[in-house]
Amino acid sequence: MQIHWLAILLAALAGFLVGGLWYGPLFGKAWMKARGITPESAAQANMPLIFGATFVLNLIAAFMLDHLYATYDAPMGLHYSLVVASIIGVGFIATSIGVNYLFSRQPRSLFLIDAGYWVTIYLVMGAIFGLMR
């Protein structure tokens, strides 16, 4: 099995950048409100640890996605890659978040923000793999 290190690195970086936009200017205020986070409590967070761990977790996710693509004998291309990524994002991650948020009685807005992020990030990572493999 060939490991596509450059695609993995770019997919992880893309995940990091999409997260910065998603939880920053796009939905940051709505997310903080739904989570009950104030600007004061946000300022006390250990951001180097959060950003570093987030990047490592994105690397792991991108590595696993690369491995998943390599395990199937299908023609690799943008369409196939996006179909698989959307199945992961919608079919596994968003539904899992939905179950957790239902039982923990989280607001629908928080589910839409968080699940939307994961669907988007997997589609972006899938597009990178589809274009680079």
Whole-model pTM over 0.95: no
CA 111/CA 30 separation, integer angstroms: 11
Among 9-18, 70-79, 114-123, the minimum mean pLDDT is found in 70-79
How many residues belong to the chain? Answer: 133
CA 51/CA 77 separation, integer angstroms: 31
Domain residue extents for the chain: 5-132
Of 72, 14, 71, 23, give the one whose Cα is nearest residue 47.
23
Q: Measured in whole angstroms, how far is the alpha carbon of residue 133 from the centre of its chain?
A: 20
SS3 helix, strand, coil % of the chain, rounded to 5? 85, 0, 15
Decide which of 15 and 76 is more confident. Answer: 15
Tens of pLDDT, residue by residue over 94-133, are 999 999 999 999 999 999 999 999 999 999 999 999 999 7
- 11 within 8 A of 62, measured Cβ to Cβ: yes
Of 55, 51, 70, 65, give the one whose Cα is nearest residue 127.
65
At residue 76, the pLDDT reads: 77
The dihedral through the CA atoms of 86, 17, 12, 39 has a sign that is: negative
At residue 23, the pLDDT reads: 96
Tens of pLDDT, residue by residue over 22-66, are 999 999 999 999 999 999 999 999 999 999 999 999 999 999 999
